[in-house]
């Protein structure tokens, strides 16, 4: 397949053959210290150090425990099952602990929603645990370090006053999925009638739940089971991106796309969207459409499905509003949906209007994909996803009428995320108490701030979408001077208020354990077993029955009111830091956005057409105004977006709560009307300002080589097979493992033992970025900050390259993970003057940090640009307890040292030890998992021994989609890529190209 | 004899050569000096614990206190509670044990001073070496004769590789006193009568002692440890 790859709009402009100029990137301004000055200072420093230090080594201490903890041997890891709540989604985790501290988190294979994989958020949980910015002391008024007891007494006094005044106390909690937390809150409300609990989400997205309650009688959001779907029509539903169950969705979606042979079937994902979501980039067919056209499009599909059957009038009206250009597509998609029947589903983004949700539900119902065992299964619903609006309205009403005397904020931050009106109302409440990890905006405005324990430091339980339960085990004693979780503090407070409350309960653990005993009949033996397994499926689980109401559905369909005139803007959670709760995590701030590859910023993304019409370019600053609030944002021209639409990200622009988040991006919560995720009409005003944006996509250009191979399913299955572009040196294919050009400067070497290799299936990879953070956690990779990323100095050992194909208006996208290829003829090895990078007898390209003198020749000679140089000492933030984050099995690299992917050699060595201990000569297949492979929810990365004919990696290498990137260079990489296959008609691909 | 310019050049060459040789000699001397390789490092410990008494005379095996060394990369340092396992009965009142008792009672650990230290970029694994049948004394010397433990080997990369390449020249095979090897005929060969080889005085280490290994203790009936297996030599076996 002929293809033109481009990585950015500049690239696209340079693709034209009449213009062969090879533009150099703009020179970067000089740093503050000139080279000469630097050398002077450095030599002086060395001399001083030599004089001062002498030669004697410093005195090291060896400190054993006073009494040996059970099971623990220094140097050996222990694994514990625990759980992670991503808002109200639950994932089971397994934590690797060394010397009593967790150092790595992995998905629990037995957990139905993790299935051994994890997300970037789950990986980054560890960073937040050891975040030095977490608050440690209780603050009471001006008193910086108050005892907890005194604070609780003071709170109890005020609460009694509040009660005497006949006022209410509200406890604002975040979205969660813990049944025992719910039980605790109910118990509290029962005992203290003046206490009310309200779920205060940072953004409101309960349209689907409200609709499900009205139409199906289920007040919850469905968690679609994509493994059961052959055909997915996604209307801006970012299931593979910002969805809370994205790990599970990615697993299910990719499972249907890992083609092992030409006969395999695959699912088809059609994305209809105005934005460029991660799900859209993975679509087989992506239709760029203005949001105002969604209802017309879906209504037309519904009409087509209904044929002669009667259709409510609003649907007919909505269908008449479809733009003519899409009428034919709607018919085609309706036919395709019909062919897949109950194995087809329509999914809608949470930010879209109610009408669109209703039409999608109508189509899914008509197709028969709603019901038990279907894609939209009432057995898979998001816990606690009930409609939040009624409660919030009541909360606002109580605040407005001055009925609230005290407010608790348990891990919520309305001072940052709530709308202006709610913030003003909250400020009128006299006694505000924050229970949170960070001294955030809300805590700063509270009377008392109690630091609470992190989820990895406290007991809890979580319920997954399928109803299975997991226990959240603490892995380390609370680092904030022993203060417990929110639940612990609430129990202490209740006992302070009423000595008889929670009799026999000393902490939340007791409450949890008692509740499990009473509710699920868990004995001590079973409890131990659940702690070990990490999962417990309650024996009796009632699946709610569906009570379908056609009338309610018809009533929900009305014109959405989205207008084609003017500009529509929407703010969605960021891929990295989500709603801002992860804003102080440098790992996630530096995780490139999977679509735009931007780091450390949020932007106003718009299509090239819109930018052209408004006379704007990337990095121009604009002001978005809605009513009397405005947000200043830099423009980012994003290929593939619909004209007249602006996408921006939430979670940025935090003011308080840590050192990392300060000054990063702009707060876009004011763009949410009443805190609800939705499109709003904004007015745009260009400012005469520029703002520097940093993206990793320009780094390391690949000069138009055929890096990515793509094909369509029809072409792949045709007798001639896929027509991949040939490498530039014909006669040098290597799919059969035979290298026909014996051109090499290193003598041939026979790998007798293991020979490590990797296969990356680009058809399964969705570009989510979990591997990047997993690698960062495993290999002690530093973050470098925006300014250093601008200089191309990001340190990620694995990156995900995003390539566009086709026109800038509606491009196709391919994600390609790129890491050290461990070439057999590694070009980096030949140029190292000090032999710091060498080849191991098992085919690893090894990097010896202590030998490296920092010439960077290897980096220059690497065709894949995967080597990373420590230009500065990036591990500068060594405030305690940050050092506990390091993996003790991997060297922490200093300034002046080259580093790169090692294929997780520490894990390989460990697996070899186990093999030897069991008397085996070889490591078994699957015994070594690299960190990226283990985290990958799509199962796109397979690592193993290429010398073992039975291993998965050997078999996958023989797949006819396999190829090596830049194989014409004869570097003989150990990483094989499997070409991307789109389940699309060839004309759909070519249309995409010329559109 | 020569023209002045050639003369000058010869002078330069001679001076240059002499300078190079001198520099090389100085670097070699000081590079291999004990102060650099730390051979003979013998710090005073907070508790005057004597390996000579406990191991050499009482015959307590290495793994009795360093339990877990055959499984872990690091050799665990015994906890205060391990010490008190015996010392609640034996010499319970000894003033030398005051710190141990304090640690046992208060939970405040003893801070021992580290003798053997590898740089952070080297990953040495005790368990692998022990499982290859290499006795503790191969690297740590005759600890059972040391009142105060000192470092006897330079622990340099060259020293590691010497042994990885020619293990038969350096390795001390298993001795019962280490307590890490199964199948040792302990009853027949009481450890107390094991005669140690004549060795250097540990208080006065000399240079290059790693080239004069302690003769292997050949005990009849003891299975020969795995000798032919050479250690790996590629970088990423230890550096990662």
Give the model's pLDDT for residue A637. Answer: 93
Give per-residue pLDDT as tens, A592-643.
999 999 999 999 999 999 999 999 999 999 999 998 889 999 999 999 999 9
pLDDT tier at A932, thresholds 50, 70, 90: very high
Whether the predicted pLDDT of B190 surpasses 50: no
Q: Which two tokens stand for residue A319?
A: 């269908």
Give the model's pLDDT for residue A807. Answer: 83
The closest of A641, A965, A697 to A7, measured between CA atoms, is A697
Give the model's pLDDT for residue A744. Answer: 65
Across the interface, whether the CB atoms of B73 and A56 are under 8 A apart is answered no
pLDDT tier at B132, thresholds 50, 70, 90: confident
Whether the predicted pLDDT of A22 surpasses 80: no
Across the interface, whether the CB atoms of B239 and A891 are under 8 A apart is answered yes
Cα–Cα dist A276/A198, whole Å: 34
State the pairing for strand pair A268-273/A604-606: unpaired
Closest-CA residue of chain B to A841: B234
**Is residue A65 within 8 angstroms of chain B, CB to CB?**
yes
The closest of A24, A16, A237 to A808, measured between CA atoms, is A16
**Mean pLDDT of the region B8-25:** 90
Cα–Cα dist A124/A439, whole Å: 19
Other C-beta atoms lying within 10 Å of the C-beta of residue A994: 8
Whole-prediction pTM: 0.88
Give the model's pLDDT for residue A817. Answer: 94
Across the interface, whether the CB atoms of B112 and A909 are under 8 A apart is answered no
Helix and strand counts by DSSP (H, E) for chain A = 31, 36
Whether the predicted pLDDT of A359 surpasses 70: yes
Give the model's pLDDT for residue B191. Answer: 36
Give the model's pLDDT for residue A723. Answer: 67
Sign of the Cα pseudo-torsion (B139, B141, B146, B150, in order): negative
Closest-CA residue of chain A to B102: A66
Closest CA of chain A from B132, distance in Å? 10
Whether the predicted pLDDT of A703 surpasses 60: no
Chain mean pLDDT for chain A: 87
Closest-CA residue of chain A to B73: A75
**Mean pLDDT of the region A228-232:** 93
Q: Which two tokens stand for residue A634?
A: 């830099």
Share of chain A above pLDDT 90, in %: 58
Convert A134-157 into a string of H (helix), E (strand) and C (coil). CCCCEEECCEEEECHHHHHHHHHH
Across the interface, whether the CB atoms of B235 and A848 are under 8 A apart is answered yes
Strand order of the β-sheet with A431-436 is A143-146, A138-140, A448-451, A431-436, A404-410, A168-173, A195-199
Cα–Cα dist A784/A694, whole Å: 12
Across the interface, whether the CB atoms of A61 and B110 are under 8 A apart is answered no
Give the model's pLDDT for residue A156. Answer: 92
Across the interface, whether the CB atoms of A67 and B81 are under 8 A apart is answered yes
Coil, strand or helix: which one is A96? strand
Task: Specify burial of residue B8 (Cβ count, 10 A radius: 0-12, 13-18, 19+).
Answer: exposed
**A287 φ/ψ angles, rounded to the nearest 5 degrees:** -105, 120
Closest-CA residue of chain A to B77: A64
Across the interface, whether the CB atoms of A913 and B127 are under 8 A apart is answered yes
Cα–Cα dist A399/A393, whole Å: 10
Instruction: Report the range of poorest mean pLDDT among A51-55, A497-501, A780-784, B166-170.
Output: A51-55
Whether the predicted pLDDT of A343 surpasses 60: yes
**Mean pLDDT of the region A685-714:** 80
Coil, strand or helix: which one is A229? coil
pLDDT tier at B26, thresholds 50, 70, 90: confident
The closest of A207, A210, A116, A221 to A465, measured between CA atoms, is A221
Task: Please count the residue pairs, one from chain A and one from chain B, whose beta carbons lie less than 8 angstroms apart.
Answer: 121
Across the interface, whether the CB atoms of B123 and A889 are under 8 A apart is answered yes
Instruction: Report the range of poorest mean pLDDT among A242-246, A718-722, A900-904, B139-143.
Output: A718-722
Whether the predicted pLDDT of A569 surpasses 90: yes
Give the model's pLDDT for residue A867. Answer: 94
Cα–Cα dist B132/B45, whole Å: 31
Cα–Cα dist A717/B186, whole Å: 71
Task: Give the closest of B76, B78, B237 to A73, CB-based.
Answer: B76
Give the model's pLDDT for residue B215. Answer: 32
Share of chain A above pLDDT 70, in %: 91
Give per-residue pLDDT as tens, B37-96.
678 788 889 999 999 999 888 888 888 888 888 788 899 899 999 899 899 988 888 899
pLDDT tier at A702, thresholds 50, 70, 90: low
Cα–Cα dist A826/A821, whole Å: 9
- Do A323 and A844 touch, CB atoms closer than 8 A? no
Give per-residue pLDDT as tens, A946-970.
988 888 999 999 888 888 888 777 7
**Mean pLDDT of the region A916-922:** 76
Across the interface, whether the CB atoms of A67 and B104 are under 8 A apart is answered yes
**Mean pLDDT of the region A461-485:** 90
Give the model's pLDDT for residue B165. Answer: 82
Whether the predicted pLDDT of B136 surpasses 80: yes
Give the long-range contacts of residues A835-838, CB within 8 A, separation 24 or more. Answer: A836/A898, A837/A898, A838/B234, A838/B235
**Mean pLDDT of the region A839-865:** 91
Across the interface, whether the CB atoms of A55 and B36 are under 8 A apart is answered yes
What residue has token string 């000679």?
A861
Helix and strand counts by DSSP (H, E) for chain B = 10, 1
Across the interface, whether the CB atoms of B125 and A913 are under 8 A apart is answered yes
Q: What dihedral angle (degrees, nearest 10) is formed by the CA atoms of A659, A662, A668, A669?
A: 50
Cα–Cα dist A800/A813, whole Å: 12
Task: Give the closest of B79, B122, B240 to A66, CB-based.
Answer: B79
- Do A934 and A247 touch, CB atoms closer than 8 A? no
Closest CA of chain A from B87, distance in Å? 14
Residues of B in contact with A66 (CB under 8 A): 79-81, 103-104, 106-110
Give the model's pLDDT for residue A46. Answer: 54
Query: Both ends of chain A: CA-CA distance in Å?
Result: 18
Closest CA of chain B from A614, distance in Å? 53
Q: Which residues of B130-163 are buried (b: 16+ CB within 10 A; e: fewer)?
A: bbbbbbbbbbbbbbbebebbbbbbbbbeebbeeb
Residues of B in contact with A477 (CB under 8 A): none
Across the interface, whether the CB atoms of A889 and B125 are under 8 A apart is answered no
pLDDT tier at A33, thresholds 50, 70, 90: low
pLDDT tier at A906, thresholds 50, 70, 90: very high
Give the model's pLDDT for residue A705. Answer: 66
- Strand runs (DSSP E) across A562-644, as ranges? 567-573, 604-606, 620-626, 629-637
Cα–Cα dist A850/A835, whole Å: 11
Q: Please give the DSSP secondary-structure letter assigned to residue A546.
A: P
Closest CA of chain A from B38, distance in Å? 8
What residue has token string 């008024």?
A141
Q: Which two tokens stand for residue B10?
A: 């010869």
Closest-CA residue of chain B to A908: B237
A59, A63, A72, A75: best to mutate for the B interface, most B CBs within 10 A: A75
Q: How far is CA A884 from CA A7, A778, A879, A913, in A?
A: 38, 13, 10, 25
Give the model's pLDDT for residue B225. Answer: 36
Give per-residue pLDDT as tens, B95-126.
999 999 999 999 899 999 999 988 889 999 98
**Is residue A307 within 8 angstroms of chain B, CB to CB?**
no
B49, B83, B85, B235: best to mutate for the A interface, most A CBs within 10 A: B235
Whether the predicted pLDDT of B184 surpasses 80: no
Using alpha carbons only, give the angle A388, A390, A395 rounded to the nearest 5 degrees. 95
Give per-residue pLDDT as tens, A707-754.
888 888 888 888 877 766 555 554 444 444 455 555 666 777 778 788
Give the model's pLDDT for residue A227. Answer: 92
Write the CB contacts of A683 (distance below 8 Å, at least 6 apart in sequence): A566, A567, A624, A625, A626
**Is residue A917 within 8 angstroms of chain B, CB to CB?**
yes
**Is residue A913 within 8 angstroms of chain B, CB to CB?**
yes
pLDDT tier at A542, thresholds 50, 70, 90: confident
Instruction: Report the range of poorest mean pLDDT among A213-217, A508-512, B166-170, B187-191.
Output: B187-191
Task: Give the closest of A55, A73, A848 to B68, CB-based.
Answer: A73
Cα–Cα dist A257/A763, whole Å: 6
Strand (E) or helix (H) holding B128: helix B126-131
């Amino acid at each position: 397949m002929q293809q033109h790859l481009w990585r950015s709009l500049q690239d696209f402009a340079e693709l034209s053959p009449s213009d062969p100029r090879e533009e150099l990137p703009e020179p970067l301004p000089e740093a503050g210290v000139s080279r000469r000055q630097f050398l002077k200072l450095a030599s002086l420093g060395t001399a001083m150090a030599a004089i001062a230090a002498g030669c004697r080594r410093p005195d090291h201490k060896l400190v054993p425990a006073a009494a040996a903890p059970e099971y623990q041997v220094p140097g050996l890891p222990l694994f514990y099952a625990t759980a992670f709540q991503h808002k109200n989604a639950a994932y089971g985790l397994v934590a690797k602990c060394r010397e009593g501290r967790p150092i790595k988190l992995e998905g629990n294979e037995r957990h139905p929603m993790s299935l051994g994989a994890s997300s970037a958020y789950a990986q980054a949980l560890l960073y937040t645990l050891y975040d030095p910015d977490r608050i440690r002391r209780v603050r009471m008024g001006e008193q910086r370090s108050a005892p907890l007891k005194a604070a609780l007494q003071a709170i109890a006094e005020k609460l009694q006053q509040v009660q005497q005044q006949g006022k209410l106390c509200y406890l604002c909690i975040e979205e969660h999925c813990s049944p025992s937390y719910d039980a605790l809150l109910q118990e509290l409300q029962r005992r203290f009638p003046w206490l009310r609990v309200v779920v205060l989400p940072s953004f409101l997205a309960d349209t689907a739940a409200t609709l499900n309650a009205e139409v199906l009688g289920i007040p919850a959001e469905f968690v679609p089971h994509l493994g059961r779907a052959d055909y997915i029509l996604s209307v801006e539903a970012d299931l593979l991106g910002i969805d809370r169950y994205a790990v599970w969705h990615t697993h299910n979606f990719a499972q249907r796309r890992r083609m092992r042979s030409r006969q395999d079937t695959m699912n088809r994902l059609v994305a209809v969207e105005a934005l460029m979501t991660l799900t859209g980039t993975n679509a087989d067919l992506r239709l760029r459409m203005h949001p105002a056209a969604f209802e017309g499009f879906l209504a037309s599909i519904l009409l087509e499905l209904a044929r002669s059957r009667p259709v409510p009038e609003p649907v007919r009206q909505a269908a008449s509003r479809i733009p003519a250009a899409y009428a034919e597509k709607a018919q085609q998609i309706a036919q395709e949906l019909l062919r897949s029947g109950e194995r087809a589903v329509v999914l809608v983004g949470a930010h879209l209007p109610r009408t669109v949700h209703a039409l999608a539900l109508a189509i899914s119902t008509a197709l028969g994909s709603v019901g038990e065992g279907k894609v939209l299964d009432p057995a898979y619903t998001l816990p606690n996803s009930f409609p939040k609006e009624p409660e919030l309205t009541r909360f606002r009403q109580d605040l407005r009428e001055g009925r609230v005397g005290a407010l608790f904020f348990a891990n919520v931050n309305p001072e940052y995320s709530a709308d202006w009106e709610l913030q003003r109302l909250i400020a009128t409440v006299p006694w505000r108490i924050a229970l949170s990890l960070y001294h955030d905006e809300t805590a700063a405005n509270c009377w008392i701030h109690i630091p609470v324990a992190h989820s990895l430091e406290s007991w809890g339980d979580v319920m997954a979408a399928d109803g299975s339960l997991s226990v959240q085990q603490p892995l380390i004693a609370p680092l904030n001077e022993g203060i417990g979780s929110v639940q612990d503090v609430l129990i202490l407070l209740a006992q302070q208020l009423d000595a008889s409350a929670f009799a026999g309960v000393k902490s939340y653990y007791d409450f949890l354990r008692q509740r499990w005993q009473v509710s699920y009949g868990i004995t001590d033996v079973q409890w131990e077993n659940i702690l070990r397994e990490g999962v417990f499926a309650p024996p009796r689980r009632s699946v709610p029955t569906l009570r379908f109401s056609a009338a309610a559905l018809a009533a929900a369909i009305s014109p959405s009111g989205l207008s084609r005139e003017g500009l529509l803007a929407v703010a969605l959670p960021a891929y990295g830091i989500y709603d801002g709760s992860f804003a102080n995590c440098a790992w996630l701030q530096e995780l490139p956005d999977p679509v735009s590859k931007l780091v450390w910023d949020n932007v106003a993304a718009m299509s090239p057409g819109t930018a052209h019409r408004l006379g704007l370019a990337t990095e121009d600053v604009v002001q978005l105004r809605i009513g009397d609030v405005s947000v200043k944002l830099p423009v980012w021209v994003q290929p593939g977006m619909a004209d007249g639409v602006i996408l921006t990200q939430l979670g940025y622009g935090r003011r308080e709560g840590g050192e990392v988040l300060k000054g990063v991006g702009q707060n876009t919560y004011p763009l949410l009307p009443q805190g609800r995720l939705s499109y709003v009409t904004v007015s745009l005003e260009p400012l005469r300002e520029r703002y520097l944006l940093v993206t990793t996509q320009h780094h390391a250009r690949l000069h138009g080589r055929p890096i990515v191979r793509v094909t369509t399913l029809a072409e792949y299955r045709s007798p001639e097979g896929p027509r991949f572009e040939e490498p530039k040196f014909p006669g040098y294919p290597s799919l059969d493992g035979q290298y026909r050009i014996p051109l090499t400067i290193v003598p041939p070497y026979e790998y007798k033992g293991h020979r490590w290799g990797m296969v990356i299936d680009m058809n399964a990879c969705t570009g989510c970025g979990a591997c990047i953070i997993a690698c960062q956690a495993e290999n002690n990779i530093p973050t470098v900050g925006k300014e250093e990323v601008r200089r191309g100095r990001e340190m990620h050992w694995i990156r995900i390259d995003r390539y566009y194909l086709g026109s800038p208006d509606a491009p196709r996208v391919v994600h390609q993970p790129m890491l050290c290829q461990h070439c057999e003829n590694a070009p980096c090895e030949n140029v190292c003057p000090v032999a710091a990078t060498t080849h191991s007898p098992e085919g690893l390209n090894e990097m010896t940090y202590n030998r490296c003198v920092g010439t960077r020749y290897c980096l220059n000679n690497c065709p894949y640009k995967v080597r990373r140089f420590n230009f500065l000492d990036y591990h500068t933030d060594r405030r305690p307890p940050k050092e506990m984050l390091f993996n003790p099995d991997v060297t922490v690299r200093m300034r002046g040292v080259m580093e790169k992917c090692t294929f997780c050699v520490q894990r390989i060595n460990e697996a070899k030890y186990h093999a030897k201990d069991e008397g085996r000569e070889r490591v078994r297949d699957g015994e070594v998992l690299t960190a990226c492979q283990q985290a990958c929810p799509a199962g796109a990365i397979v690592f193993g021994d290429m010398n073992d004919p039975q291993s998965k990696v050997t078999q996958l290498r023989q797949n006819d989609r396999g190829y090596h990137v830049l194989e014409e260079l004869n570097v003989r990489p150990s990483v094989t890529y499997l070409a991307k296959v789109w389940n699309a008609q060839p004309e759909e691909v070519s249309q995409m190209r010329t559109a | 004899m020569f023209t002045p310019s050639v003369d000058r050049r010869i002078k330069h060459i001679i001076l240059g050569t002499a300078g190079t040789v001198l520099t090389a000699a100085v670097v070699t001397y000081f590079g291999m000096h004990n102060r650099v390789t730390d051979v003979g490092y013998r710090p005073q410990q907070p508790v005057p614990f004597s390996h000579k008494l406990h191991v050499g005379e009482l015959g307590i095996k290495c793994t009795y206190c360093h339990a877990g060394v055959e499984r872990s990369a690091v050799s665990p340092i015994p906890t205060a509670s391990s010490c008190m396992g015996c010392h609640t009965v034996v010499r319970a009142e000894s003033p030398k044990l005051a710190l141990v008792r304090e640690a046992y009672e208060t939970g405040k650990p003893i801070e021992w001073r580290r003798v053997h230290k590898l740089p952070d970029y080297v990953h040495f694994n005790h368990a692998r070496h022990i499982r290859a049948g290499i006795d503790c004394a191969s690297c740590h010397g005759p600890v059972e004769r040391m009142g105060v433990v000192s470092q006897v080997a330079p622990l340099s990369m060259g020293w590691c590789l010497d042994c990885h390449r020619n293990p038969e020249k350096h390795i001390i095979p298993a001795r019962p006193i280490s307590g890490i090897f199964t199948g040792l005929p302990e009853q027949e060969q009481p450890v107390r009568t094991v005669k140690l080889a004549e060795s250097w005085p540990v208080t006065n280490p000399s240079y290059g002692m790693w080239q004069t290994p302690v003769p292997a203790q050949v005990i009849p009936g003891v299975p020969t440890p795995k000798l032919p297996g050479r250690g790996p030599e590629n970088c990423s076996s230890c550096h990662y």
